[in-house]
Amino acid sequence: MNPLRLKKNEERRLRAGHLWIFSNEVDTAQTPLQGFQPGDLTVVEDARGKALGIAYVNPDSLICARLLSRNPHAVIGEAFFVLRLENALGLRERLFEGTDYRLIHGESDGLPGLVVDRFGNVLSIQTNTAGMERLQPIIIAALEKTLRPRAIVAKNNSGLRQLEGMENYTRILSGELPEQVRIEENSVQFLVDVMAGQKTGWFFDHRSNRALAARLASGQRVLDLFAYSGAWGIQAARAGATVVDCVDGSDAALGLAAENARLNNVHEKVNCVRADAFEFLKQAREAHEHYDLIILDPPALIKRKKDVKAGIEAYRRLNQGALQLLAPGGILVSASCSYHLQRDALHDILRASGRHVDRHMVFIAQGGQAPDHPVHPAIPETDYLKAFFCRICPSL
């Protein structure tokens, strides 16, 4: 392997635990990035030539290398991936009784650029970097050896791939996909559209937050905005909500939400409404509609730093609109999966929104991502999900 040498002192972040190397940290006079092909493996060296570990390289990306092992003699083959998979599996088996969870969460599980969601005997994977794409055949072999799945599907539709210069695609990599893929979350059954669904097909990261929201739903009228396939709303209905309105802009998502409502025998109190969330909030306000529990879980509205200003404005409009629909004593669950919207920023949006509409707001709980999405303490990018549970009363 050709070495990749860093400039003086640029190894400090790696020694502190991070796994990324940026192109401006490389001593390109000693080791030109043009000498690498996307996905090549390399031994990373500090400025004195001391080996720091093995990484894969993409010379065309701002994050030009990601560390796979701190052992410079490691062999990045099937056995390497089996060991990482077994370690990740051991954690999930301690966390959950079933077999529905995120199995690999990128850097936090020592496999930067790789995501694997497990739906029983079906695996949905994303290889989001050129390095993981090159290693994909070995990854598939390791997954088959470790879990013997019925099918492995590549859901390579992430925007991260564009930054790596790769095309998006979805296809079955091995096995045969069953006609229906069913999972269980918080004792509620769901059908998952692995091939056509968003991301890997399901969002396990809000599992713990959805469990708390369901506890608050009994006897309540519930609004689930950006409902997708009904994960929040149907769990609320199963927990005893009287009416649940699931709002989404996708007919396909709402069709799956309706199927999931029937699957759980709550279809008589779950309404699937196709609408733009901003327009729905406006029309519901004009119609003097009120809800006791509102779940606001939009997709990432801030994907890049340059989107922060517009994204904050969108979060502000959504939260103000939701607050205006809450009955006295109602609860708003406001969530964000945008890494570039920090927890303190969402906190401040909610505080300001409460004052703007003249409501007394208190936070009764805060949430993050479920434990199958572990946070790497040296990599803040792995800590992306935040949720506030807000009780809203008339102004004091």
d(CA 23, CA 62): 6
Amino acid present at 93 = E
Q: Which of 168, 118, 112 is nearest to 143 (CA)?
A: 118
Which residue is catalytic, options 64, 272, 337, 390? 337
d(CA 332, CA 345): 17
> Backbone phi, then psi, for 179, in 5-degree steps?
-60, -35
Q: Residues near 380 by Cβ (< 8 Å), separated by ≥ 6?
A: none
Both tokens of 390, joined, read 């807000």
Both tokens of 289, joined, read 């509609």
> Backbone phi, then psi, for 310, in 5-degree steps?
-65, -35
Per DSSP, the residues of 22-72 read EGGGB-TTTS-GGG--TT-EEEEE-TT--EEEEEEE-TTSSEEEEEEES-T
The answer to whether 327 and 290 have CB atoms below 8 angstroms apart is yes
List Cα–Cα distances, 355 to 59, 93, 278, 392, 396, in angstroms: 49, 45, 20, 11, 11
Q: Is 272 a catalytic residue?
A: no
Name the residue with tokens 């003086």: 8
| DSSP strand pairing (326-336 vs 291-296) | parallel
Amino acid present at 96 = F
Query: Hey, which residues are catalytic here?
Result: 337
